[in-house]
Structure 1
Amino acid sequence: MTSTTGQSNAETIERARRVTAAEDYDIGTRFPSVFVSAQGSWMTDVEGKRILDVTAASGALLLGNQHPRVVEAVSNAVRNHGAVFASTLSPQRIELAERLVERYPAGEKAVFCKTGSEATTTAIRLARAYTGRDLILTSGYHGWHDWQLSYLNMGFDPRTRVANFGYNETALRRFLEEFGSDIAGVIVTPEPAWLDTDYYSNLSSICAEFGVLFIIDEVITALRWGAKGLNGTGGVRADMITVSKGLSNGHALSAVLGRREVIDAYDKAGIAGTYTREVPPMAAALAVLDEIEDGAVHEQCEKMGKLLKDGMRDVLASVGIPAFVTGPNMMFDVVVESESLSWDIYRAAYDFGAYFEDSGTHMVTAAYGEAEVEHALTAFEKGAKQVASKLELAPGDLPDARKLAFPLEAFGGSLKDSEGVLQRIEDTVERIAKRDKDQGNALDPACG
């Protein structure tokens, strides 16, 4: 077994740099710890330092690490059932599908993947296979696969036949009016800190008006926009949704739920995968669903998330850093005047024992109690004071221009119909119109 005993974080990171770590993704955008264990929301690094996770492992954890019910379910699955079978079907998969389609209004059937990126790619392949159309309209981040790498820029990529409408309703309606009969589906990632349920209900209605599938990428929000996501708690109609983070409390699993006839395009879409049949993650997901059934988990997360959100707002006001704190209690955003200032604050807070998401989106788990919130706020206050002491700060609220710039930088949100945005819409319409239709038709319509 590989050991890091006696090594510092810096030494272990250097070791990783030589053989595995990406300079930006693994090192440059992370705080300098290598963690060896975690319990609840507390992590321990190679130097023995305990640091509080304020990211919920980028949203992957709902209950916290080493939750007894999940540990027992996974251990039991491995010990008494096995890891993976020759057949794609298992009792665990069937039961999990039954419970998910009962839980979410969009669900009539469910299929499973391992990651959020895989689930969203599966969804667009299903849409193309079911409709026989090639164009996809999108807004927001749906993972790292090729078809959506341009998620920050409104426009059209002829190679992937994907057009980004930037959460702009004018753009969506314009694209649907011009190309509706060629559009297989519209997929959007909810941004609950910026756009409310009425906005998404309107998108759903527009898609229904044009007879186009509406897909909600609820990889993060399915268990954090309330207990049942935008589709369930928010009541927004969808033809398909994706679910992942929190579903199996950190184990690799995602699901695509949708209308029966759309999911039944699974064979035509050519979707497959050996590890989609793995049993322990499904056992973990069933344990999570059992644990959250009575509502106590979400009640605790909402309560602790609100304490943290309100406390961070108060800290920033007290130290004189203009900020905008917004969003639901279980996944809220903290926006300051620049990305670099955000990084500096959270980097300083890390030195005081709290690991915040430097992008400014913060998430708690059910393992949070008042002691965890107090620790997070103490570390955040010390870090913010340290940073503020070196700045010349202008008093007052965060400028509206920054509030508009943040969604554009963070998730490609062109939320206002400015002259530049309207021109971009027309440029995109022209690019879509000039696409090589034979290329799209020549390819398998399921191709993602």
Structure 2
Amino acid sequence: MTHPDPDFSRFAASRAHQACAHRLIPGGAHTYAKGDDQMPEWMPVVIDRGEGAFVWDLDGNRFIEYGQGLRSVTLGHAEPRVTAAATRELARGTNFSRPSRVELEAAEAFLALIGAECVKFCKDGSSATTAAVKVARAATGRDTVAVCSDHPFLSQGDWFIGTTPMAAGIPRAVRDLTVGFPYGDVAALEAVLDEHRPACVVMEAVRDGANPTRYLRACIAACRARGVVFVLDEMITGFRWSARGAQGLYGLDPDLSTFGKALANGHSVSALAGRRDLMEAGGLGSDRDRVFLLSGTHGAETHGLAAAIAALRIARDENVAGRLMRQGARLRKGVAEVVRERLAVGSVGTAGRDSNLVFYTRDADGRPSQAYRTLFVQELARRGVLAPSFVITTAHTDDVIDQTVEAVAGAVDVYVRALDAGSVDGLLIGRPVQPVFRKKAGTVWTSVSRSGGDGAVSPPPRLSPPTS
């Protein structure tokens, strides 16, 4: 059983681009989740542009895209009203030596929707969550941080990355200040709170499809009883679960919460929001020791905040979360039907909330498999669907979803062949995708990536020096 020879020329420009990128950029990308180790080896796919539910790569291949900027896009790429708002502010200037009008306008729009008392904007989610930890430490006089160990990513700050296999460069003393607890077990959290007396608990609202209301309220109550600051990470749930995020959907009142990703439909804006008495430690109206909270030169770029205002208004007025749920449900049902027809139930399928679907892949023995995941992603991409997940946007129309289901059908046909054979050998081209968090990189950038596929490795192209 062999796979038809791949058309390596289809991704030639992307492979040439990445050969150069790996010389100049560690990992070939500025975000680990976008690394070449997250894609099938022979199709690195470098994006040239996007519009709505579609992207085009450097070779001119068009894909229906899911994941949409690691869940940062809810309205589709280049949504016209968001783009127009950002463009208008760009023409007025992007950064000044004093606060701009749009900063207050954005704060008012955000707080009116979310319901918190204060907000500070910044450029990425990691900065927001790390600032929340700093505020909590200052407020409590404690150093330890408790994090939900079942949530895969909370920050690139040392306080979190030190808990992952990629802890190189982080002092042991820093790593020892973070402790974990399992999701869904209030007693386990209470034990951690009593033993370690942390400054704060940082966690996302959900882990699976179950309604977490009772559990989350119990977590908040346990923290309040012990003087621990409860920080709700809304990077994923914000504006996807409801216009007010998970806290609005489940009726929660976190001490602090952090937002990003969908806040500005892919533009670089994130936020730390919460109680005034905590946030004011980073202001000018407190007599406590000052907290250097969030202060970035580019933290309040006007065009990003203008994009956020437009996206917030659309989320408020157009039931974006409801539309995401409706279209995601259509995709989930279509995939389930395809899988059922091909007798692959339990081997490949979807999971999660309809507005934020992922897919699972298992081998012939029912075990989670990176190799089978790679095969599934490879076969979807062959059929014009770029899908590290099945995270949807409002631009994924019924027709787009139906095209996706058709591509899934073809991919599952190949998947079932691999299941019947007990291996992806002869079907998967190159190495499997890899977990982002691993201690060693291993061999990822190999001959298939750097050559035309015949195994002859050429050195990466050198850039010509600039000319004057």
TM-score by length of 1: 0.80
Counterpart position of 1:130: 139
Deviations 1:107-162 (A, max 9, x none): 10000110011111111111112222211111122122211014469xx9642411
Does the C-alpha gap of structure 1 residues 138 and 347 become closer, same or farther in structure 2, counting only changes over 3 Å? same
Choose which of 220, 230, 234 in structure 1 pairs with 2:236: 220
> Aligned partners of 1:199 and 1:151: how far apart in 2?
24
Give the conservation status (yes or no) of the 8 Å contact 2:111–2:117: yes
| SS of 2:238 mapped into structure 1 | helix
Give the C-alpha shift of residue 32 in structure 1: 1.8
Moved more, 264-273 or 6-15: 6-15
Deviations 1:32-82 (A, max 9, x none): 2111111011001111111011112210101111111111111100112x1
Counting only pairs closer than 5 Å after superposition, residues 172-251 of structure 1 correspond to structure 2 as 172-180=189-197, 183-195=198-210, 196-251=212-267
Give the conservation status (yes or no) of the 8 Å contact 2:110–2:309: no
Choose which of 289, 307, 310 in structure 1 pairs with 2:312: 289
Counterpart position of 1:3: none
> Aligned partners of 2:209 and 2:323: how far apart in 1?
24
Give the conservation status (yes or no) of the 8 Å contact 1:54–1:376: no
Give the C-alpha shift of residue 335 in structure 1: 2.4
Give the conservation status (yes or no) of the 8 Å contact 1:104–1:228: yes
- AA matched with 2:105: E
Deviations 1:192-228 (A, max 9, x none): 5255232222211221222211110001111112232
| SS of 2:104 mapped into structure 1 | helix
Choose which of 367, 374, 398 in structure 1 pairs with 2:402: 374
Counterpart position of 2:355: 330
Does the C-alpha gap of structure 1 residues 226 and 296 become closer, same or farther in structure 2, counting only changes over 3 Å? closer
Does the C-alpha gap of structure 1 residues 313 and 143 become closer, same or farther in structure 2, counting only changes over 3 Å? farther
Give the C-alpha shift of residue 326 in structure 1: 3.0
Give the C-alpha shift of residue 21 in structure 1: 5.2
Give the C-alpha shift of residue 249 in structure 1: 0.9
Counterpart position of 1:166: 182
Choose which of 17, 20, 31 in structure 2 pairs with 1:15: 20
- AA matched with 2:292: G
Counting only pairs closer than 5 Å after superposition, residues 30-45 of structure 1 correspond to structure 2 as 30=39, 31-45=43-57
Does the C-alpha gap of structure 1 residues 259 and 345 become closer, same or farther in structure 2, counting only changes over 3 Å? same
Give the conservation status (yes or no) of the 8 Å contact 1:40–1:367: yes
Does the C-alpha gap of structure 1 residues 198 and 362 become closer, same or farther in structure 2, counting only changes over 3 Å? farther
Give the C-alpha shift of residue 93 in structure 1: 1.4
**Uncovered stretches (5+) of structure 1, i.e. residues with no partner:** 1-5, 395-408, 412-448
| SS of 2:312 mapped into structure 1 | helix
Give the conservation status (yes or no) of the 8 Å contact 1:197–1:230: no
- AA matched with 2:20: R
Counterpart position of 1:110: 119
Counterpart position of 1:425: none
Counterpart position of 2:107: 97
Counting only pairs closer than 5 Å after superposition, residues 284-433 of structure 1 correspond to structure 2 as 284-321=307-344, 322=346, 323=348, 325-337=350-362, 338-340=368-370, 341-357=372-388, 361-392=389-420
> Aligned partners of 1:339 and 1:61: how far apart in 2?
28
Counterpart position of 2:291: 269
> Aligned partners of 2:107 and 2:178: how far apart in 1?
29
> Aligned partners of 1:382 and 1:150: how far apart in 2?
41
> Aligned partners of 1:296 and 1:235: how far apart in 2?
18
- AA matched with 2:357: F
Please list every run of at least 4 consecutive aligned residues from structure 1 whose deviation after the TM superposition is greater than 4 angstroms: 150-153
Q: Identity of aligned pairs, percent?
A: 26
RMSD between superposed Cα atoms in Å:
2.4
Deviations 1:260-291 (A, max 9, x none): 01111115221321111211100000011122
| SS of 1:11 mapped into structure 2 | helix
| SS of 1:58 mapped into structure 2 | helix
Give the conservation status (yes or no) of the 8 Å contact 1:21–1:27: no
Give the conservation status (yes or no) of the 8 Å contact 2:158–2:174: no
Does the C-alpha gap of structure 1 residues 317 and 92 become closer, same or farther in structure 2, counting only changes over 3 Å? same
- AA matched with 2:375: D
Counterpart position of 1:83: 94
Give the conservation status (yes or no) of the 8 Å contact 1:85–1:277: no
Give the conservation status (yes or no) of the 8 Å contact 2:140–2:227: no
| SS of 1:362 mapped into structure 2 | coil
Does the C-alpha gap of structure 1 residues 324 and 51 become closer, same or farther in structure 2, counting only changes over 3 Å? closer
Give the C-alpha shift of residue 390 in structure 1: 2.2
- AA matched with 2:300: R
**Uncovered stretches (5+) of structure 2, i.e. residues with no partner:** 1-10, 166-170, 284-289, 363-367, 423-434, 438-468
Counterpart position of 2:448: none
Does the C-alpha gap of structure 1 residues 170 and 327 become closer, same or farther in structure 2, counting only changes over 3 Å? same
Does the C-alpha gap of structure 1 residues 410 and 306 become closer, same or farther in structure 2, counting only changes over 3 Å? farther
| SS of 1:193 mapped into structure 2 | coil
- AA matched with 1:185: C
Counterpart position of 2:425: none
Moved more, 185-194 or 71-80: 185-194
| SS of 1:389 mapped into structure 2 | helix
Counterpart position of 1:56: 68
> Aligned partners of 1:227 and 1:54: how far apart in 2?
21
> Aligned partners of 1:249 and 1:286: how far apart in 2?
10
> Aligned partners of 2:156 and 2:20: how far apart in 1?
26
> Aligned partners of 1:152 and 1:377: how far apart in 2?
35
Does the C-alpha gap of structure 1 residues 29 and 326 become closer, same or farther in structure 2, counting only changes over 3 Å? closer
Does the C-alpha gap of structure 1 residues 312 and 143 become closer, same or farther in structure 2, counting only changes over 3 Å? farther
> Aligned partners of 1:98 and 1:121: how far apart in 2?
23
Give the C-alpha shift of residue 293 in structure 1: 2.1
| SS of 1:57 mapped into structure 2 | helix
Moved more, 132-141 or 330-339: 330-339
Give the C-alpha shift of residue 353 in structure 1: 0.6
Does the C-alpha gap of structure 1 residues 229 and 339 become closer, same or farther in structure 2, counting only changes over 3 Å? farther
